[in-house]
Structure 1
């Protein structure tokens, strides 16, 4: 039966046939299209003899090629796997007949996919809590007028909001992983949906909750639009982290996605934390906040539109990079071999 779909693992390698990506210990390995097809064919028929005719049909699609072309193809695949033709671990030569793939396989959804799903929501919630607490602490130090106690209270309150946001996005991404069984573009949809729902809930609590307690309606607080945009940006960083991209690529993806999200929110007239705190300060008399000080700290004459734009960029980057970094940690934790697996691997090499 042809199993050339989904994600398969052998030794330290992962073969993602849907996204046509080979990686080792989470690091992508460049492999040309025909070479990838040849490896996928061998893996799909593990333990079976794959003849030259089968390669002609499955890799070259009926186009006749020389024996040397096939030999070069297998040589390139072996080089990518670090395999030795004289002492093969993966691809065995059957003289005058073809090749056979001999390594044991494990399906990613059964082996690693389940591990990925379980900690994703928790890691995102923890990252959201940390990002929110840091942002609240910074704003409390700069704009707080009530002393150390107020700084800690503001940090705790904003941390709780970050926890809610991270849990919402993490829950959406965990649902996407459960549905698709792998880290793909569905993570973006899951994060966007989670962000939309959390943004709507936060907006409702901000408006109605403060209105209920103070009798004052707050005009401008973060809502579903901002949640959708920031969730989408976070989804890109999460996809890069869980799909096995390099650390630097994950960070760059997070920076670009966060910057793009902040620009879209800014030019659409939206707001995040600083704008919401400013609305709270202006709408509720007696609030011990001086958000103008944030603008001064950014080199502006008060909390101008430019200063608000800068806070959008900073807040977006802190949140997106916190989630991306947390999911990188999840990826490494899920791919770390157990003691038995490591012992078996060392014994094989010995």
Structure 2
């Protein structure tokens, strides 16, 4: 008779409905990881080689050793297991993996003591594998850190350009560099906190929604962009008696936040099949497309906003002139790609 359920430790796996339960609660699990766990449960106590996993789980698709290692690492985390003191999945160095816990199989037609309580399980979420408050803070912290890195290195790029310009005019090159780095890092930290905060909040509220990250990132970017634009406009009007032109605002924040959220959604969905390097390159591509869309709609990111600010004040000693619309478009694309790469890359590394 066909196996209807595998019971082990406090977990149950339904191979037909492809669901994993922690007691009465449903555990969210990647499709490839589910197949790997099912393979282990079908052969308890048996050493399964890497080649066996590649054949049965990835079905011959070429993947690196890192992908399988990450698969087992994630399964252990979701099942509450440990690599150093395993009670479920044992690593046999250079040979493969073995499932060492007791496994009981429930066949079709066999009554199960917990079957009556199993029906409402899809509405519950298990803390071990689902998105919880710990992962929420991890997302916010990792994303904000990635934003800080993006701002620091981006500020260095703009700062070096500014330093070369002011040096020709006889003013302080080092001061220009430090100011650019400080401004870019601060703005990137604020933007990253808003975007990743939106992603974390959306995943916490809508845990089973496929593209919750995209929606949350877009909303977070929209709010922080619109708020920053209003505060910046009013601050300049209050301090200097005039407001700058069209600087970065809600639309730019929405598009860039949506790009980061989409990149993170795809990174989570295809974590078993895509390496970190490919993931961050995909994130850069998505962010670059968002930057191009921002340029097409007449928006500005950091470089364009600095140019607008400098142009609004004739006595300013710094003018980051973007040489024509083509250069402005390229700058937007590069900024979008870099910001998305750093944030999505930080989130991927934090998950691993």
TM-score (norm 2): 0.64
Structure 1 Cα separation of the partners of residues 20 and 264 of structure 2: 21
Distance 2:319 2:262 in 1: 35
Q: Residue 157 of structure 1 is aligned with which of 167, 183, 190?
A: 183
Change (3 A) 1:255 1:268: same
TM-aligned CA distance change 1:3 to 1:306, over 3 Å: same
| 1:133 counterpart residue number | 152
Residue 128 of structure 1, CA deviation = 1.3
Query: What is aligned with 1:269?
Result: 298
2: CA distance, partners of 1:218 / 1:15: 50
Contact 1:210 1:217 in 2 (8 A): yes
Q: Is the counterpart of residue 80 in structure 1 residue 99 in structure 2?
A: no
- Alignment map for 1:1-350 (pairs within 5 Å): 8=20, 16=28, 21-23=31-33, 79-80=56-57, 109-112=126-129, 113-114=131-132, 115-144=134-163, 145=166, 146-181=172-207, 184-243=210-269, 245=271, 246=274, 247-292=276-321, 295=322, 303-332=323-352
CA change 1:149–1:92 in 2 (3 A) is same
Do the aligned partners of 1:183 and 1:239 also contact (CA within 8 Å) in 2? no
Per the alignment, residue 70 of structure 1 pairs with none
| Preserved contact between residue 32 and residue 57 of structure 2 (Cα < 8 Å) | no
TM-superposed CA distance for 1:179, in Å, is 1.1
Asked whether the 8 Å contact 1:109–1:181 carries over to 2, the reply is no
Deviation at 1:250, TM superposition (A): 1.8
| CA deviation vs aligned residue, 1:284-316 (integer Å, no higher than 9, x gap) | 233232313xx5xxxxxxx21111011101100
Structure 2: which 5+ residue stretches go unaligned? 6-11, 43-51, 59-71, 73-88, 90-95, 113-123, 167-171
Residues 111 and 6 of structure 1: CA distance in aligned 2, closer, same or farther (over 3 Å) = farther
Give the aligned CA root-mean-square deviation in angstroms.
4.1
Q: Tell me the distance in 2 between the aligned counterparts of 1:155 and 1:77.
A: 46
Cα distance in 1 for partners of 2:198, 2:19 equals 22
Over 3 Å counting, the alpha-carbon distance change for 1:183 and 1:322 in structure 2 is farther
Question: Do 2:196 and 2:217's aligned partners in 1 also have CA atoms closer than 8 Å?
Answer: yes
**1:121–1:171: 8 Å Cα contact kept in structure 2?**
yes
> Is the Cα–Cα contact under 8 Å of residues 292 and 330 in structure 2 kept in the other structure?
no
How big is the shift at 1:108?
A: 7.0
Q: Give the SS at the match of 1:181.
A: coil
Question: Which residue pairs with 1:104 in the alignment?
Answer: none
**How much does 1:319 deviate?**
0.4
Secondary structure of 1:316's partner?
helix
8 Å CA contact retained: 1:241, 1:327? no
What is the deviation of 1:240?
2.7
Structure 2 CA distance for aligned equivalents of residues 108 and 237 of structure 1 = 24
Gaps of 5+ in 1: 31-35, 44-74, 101-106, 296-302, 333-350
User: 2:162, 2:173 within 8 Å by CA — same for their partners in 1?
Assistant: no
Secondary structure of the structure 2 residue equivalent to 1:110: coil
- Structure in which a larger fraction of residues adopt helix: 1
2:116 equivalent in structure 1 = none
Contact 2:151-2:189 at 8 Å conserved across structures: yes
2:169 aligned residue = none
Contact conserved, 2:287 with 2:336, CA < 8 A, in 1? yes
